[in-house]
């Protein structure tokens, strides 16, 4: 099993050092910034968004559109996009134990993975497509 970490940021070098120190760098692949997210999402079973803060996460919406089983932290707009145990498993930020428990739950339960992924895609198609968002914006601006 491999863990792929996409994106970059101020903690990337520290995370690489920690993975080397823990001797797990053979299992973790740091890929840096990527612009081919749909291709990556197609290869994954589980999408994890362990944010410390968020607004309205485009990454989360992309995972929903791809129908992935999602684990996301309960920060910012994440809880407006997904409901715990419906479209995702939500966990507190900075809680590695909750994250590991959620991962184990999804890894060991393919039916739950499938159900959460399907629910996430359905909600995306109902609430977050470009046309739906435009209609909602027009409604909000004309009130």
Model confidence pLDDT, tens digit, residues 88-134: 999 999 999 999 999 999 999 999 999 999 999 999 999 999 999 89
pLDDT of 143 higher than 80? no
Average pLDDT score over residue span 70-77: 96
The DSSP code for 128 is -
Quote the CA–CA distance of 90 and 29 in Å, as a whole number.
24
E runs forming strands in 50-119: 69-73, 89-91
The C-alpha atoms of residue 27 and residue 138 are separated, in whole angstroms, by 47
Residue 9 has pLDDT above 90, yes or no: no
**What confidence score (pLDDT) does residue 118 get?**
98
Residues whose CB falls within 8 Å of the CB of residue 135, separated by 6 or more in sequence, listed in order: none
> What pTM did the predictor assign?
0.86
**Chain center to CA of 110:** 17
- List Cβ neighbours of 55 (8 Å cut-off, separation of 6 or more): 76, 77
Nearest-angstrom CA–CA distance, 123 and 87: 8
pLDDT at 109: 97
From CA 86, how far away is CA 121, in angstroms rounded? 11
First-last CA distance in the chain: 51
pLDDT on residue 30: 92
Q: Three-state DSSP class for 3?
A: strand
3-state class of 33 per DSSP?
Answer: coil
């Amino acid at each position: 099993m491999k863990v792929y970490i996409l994106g970059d940021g101020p903690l990337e070098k520290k995370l690489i050092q920690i993975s080397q120190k823990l001797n797990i760098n053979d299992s973790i692949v740091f890929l840096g910034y990527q612009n081919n997210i749909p291709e990556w999402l197609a290869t994954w079973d589980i999408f994890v968004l362990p944010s410390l803060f968020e607004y309205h996460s485009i990454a989360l919406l992309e995972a929903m559109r791809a129908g992935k089983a999602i684990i996301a932290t309960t920060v910012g707009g994440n809880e407006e996009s997904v409901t715990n145990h419906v479209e995702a498993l939500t966990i507190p930020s900075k809680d590695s134990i909750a994250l590991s428990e959620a991962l184990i739950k999804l890894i060991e339960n393919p039916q739950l993975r499938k159900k959460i992924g399907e629910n996430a895609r359905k909600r995306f198609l109902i609430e977050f497509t470009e046309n739906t968002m435009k209609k909602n914006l027009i409604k909000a601006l004309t009130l």
